[in-house]
C-alpha cells in the first residue's frame, strides 16, 4: 500500500510554495552527503566523522561540515581548538587528519549556547556552504542536526545534496523520528542512500550478542519505506573513548573491527559516485 504524504507545518508549506532556486553544488566539492537521523543521541556525529575518515583512507579527498549549530560535536571529536583563518571574505577550513573541517564550534566557545532563531541558523549554514574555501573535494560529509527544520530545508532546497544516510538505534522511540526524517527527505526529493543500525548490539565477554536497544527495528523500517538497509554497527566502548579523545576509531586504529565496518560503508559510498 503506498504511503501517505506527510503533513507539513504551515511555515514549511509557505517555504515550499515559493519558487525554489536552482540548486548549486558547494563550490570546491563534487558530492554532498548528509548524515541524518532526525533524532539526537543515536551516534550520528560518530558515524559522520568515521565515514569521512574511512573515505579518506580509501583515497578520497573529504570535507566534514558540522551543520548542528546548536550542538556542534566536530571540535571535540577531532580535538580542534583553533579558529579558522579568514581573508575578510571567506573562511579557510581547518585541516585535521587530512580532512577539511568547518563547524560553528570553531567560531564560538564550546560551552556558549547558540540562542539563535531560525533565520540566524540559515544564515550560518549559507556561510559554511558559500563562504568557505573548500578545495578539490570528492565528498563533503554533512553532520546534520536532529529534527526536520530550517537546516534540513536549507540544504534540501538551496544546496545540491547528492544523498542522505539515515542513522538510528533500533528502539521504537528513535525510529518514530527517523520515519519523519525519511518522509521529509522523500518530500524534498533528496535521495536516501540507506539506513544504518547503530549500536545494534553489545558483544559480551561470553561471546554472546546482547540487543540492548531492541532487535531489527532499523531493518524493518528500511523495508517499510522501501529503502536500502546498509548494515549494523555494534556497541563498542573503544568507539566512544576514541571520539572523546579527539581521534575517532577509524583514525586511531584502522584495523579495529568497527573501523573495518566503516571502511566497508566508505567503499560502498565511493562505488556509487566515483
Side-chain half-sphere exposure of 209, counting CA atoms within 13 A: 11
Any idea where the domains of the chain sit in the sequence?
29-273
Low-confidence ranges of the chain (pLDDT < 50): 16, 18-20
Torsion of CA 252, 257, 262, 264, to 10 degrees: 130
CB atoms within 10 A of CB 49: 30
3-state secondary structure of 132: strand
pLDDT score recorded for residue 9: 58
Burial class (CB in 10 A: 0-12, 13-18, 19+), 115: exposed
Q: What is the DSSP letter of 151?
A: H
H helix intervals, the chain: 10-17, 44-57, 74-77, 118-130, 150-158, 172-187, 217-224, 237-244, 249-252, 257-273
Between the alpha carbon of residue 168 and those of residues 33, 215, 258, the distances in Å are 17, 12, 16
Cα end-to-end span (Å), the chain: 35
Residue 241 has a CB neighbour count (10 Å cut-off) of: 12
Superfamily of domain 29-273: P-loop containing nucleotide triphosphate hydrolases (3.40.50.300)
Q: What is the pLDDT of residue 4?
A: 54
Burial of residue 53 (CB within 10 Å: 0-12, 13-18, 19+) is: buried
Helix, strand, or coil (residue 248): coil
Cell reading at 67: 551543520
What pLDDT is attached to residue 112? Answer: 67
What is the total residue count of the chain?
274
Beta-bridged to residue 92, according to DSSP, are: none
pLDDT at residue 19, as a whole number = 47
Contacts of 11 (CB under 8 A, 6+ apart): none
Q: Please state the φ and ψ torsions of residue 173, each to the nearest 5 degrees.
A: -65, -30
240 Cα distance to chain centroid: 17
- Which residues contact residue 18 at a Cβ distance below 8 angstroms, ignoring those fewer than 6 apart? none
Output b/e per residue, 12-48; b: 16+ Cβ within 10 A.
beeeeeeeeeeeeebebbbbbbbbbbbbeebbbbbbb
Amino acid at each position: 500500500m503506498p504511503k501517505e504524504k506527510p503533513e507539513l507545518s504551515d511555515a514549511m508549506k509557505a517555504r515550499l510554495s515559493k519558487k525554489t532556486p536552482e540548486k548549486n553544488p558547494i563550490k570546491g566539492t563534487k558530492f554532498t552527503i548528509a548524515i541524518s537521523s532526525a533524532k539526537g543521541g543515536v551516534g550520528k556525529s560518530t558515524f559522520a566523522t568515521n565515514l569521512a575518515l574511512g573515505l579518506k583512507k580509501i583515497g578520497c579527498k573529504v570535507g566534514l561540515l558540522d551543520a548542528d549549530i546548536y550542538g556542534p560535536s566536530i571540535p571535540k571529536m577531532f580535538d580542534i581548538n583553533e579558529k579558522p583563518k579568514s581573508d575578510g571574505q571567506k573562511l579557510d577550513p581547518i585541516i585535521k587528519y587530512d580532512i577539511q573541517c568547518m563547524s560553528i564550534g570553531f567560531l564560538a566557545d564550546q560551552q556558549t549556547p547558540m540562542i539563535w532563531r531560525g533565520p540566524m541558523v540559515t544564515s550560518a549554514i549559507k556561510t559554511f556552504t558559500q563562504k568557505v574555501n573548500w578545495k578539490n573535494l570528492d565528498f563533503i560529509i554533512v553532520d546534520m542536526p536532529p529534527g526536520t527544520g530550517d537546516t534540513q530545508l536549507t540544504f534540501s532546497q538551496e544546496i545540491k545534496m547528492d544523498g542522505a544516510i539515515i542513522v538510528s538505534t533500533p528502539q521504537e522511540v528513535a525510529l518514530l523520528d527517523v520515519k519523519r526524517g525519511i518522509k521529509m527527505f522523500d518530500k524534498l526529493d533528496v535521495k536516501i542512500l540507506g539506513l544504518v543500525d547503530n549500536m545494534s548490539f553489545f558483544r559480551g565477554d561470553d561471546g554472546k550478542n546482547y540487543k540492548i536497544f531492541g532487535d531489527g527495528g532499523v531493518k524493518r523500517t528500511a523495508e517499510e519505506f522501501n529503502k536500502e538497509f546498509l548494515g549494523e554497527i555494534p556497541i563498542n566502548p573503544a568507539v566512544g573513548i576514541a571520539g572523546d579523545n579527539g581521534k575517532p576509531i577509524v583514525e586511531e586504529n584502522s584495523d579495529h573491527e568497527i573501523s573495518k565496518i566503516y571502511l566497508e560503508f566508505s567503499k560502498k559510498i565511493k562505488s556509487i559516485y566515483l
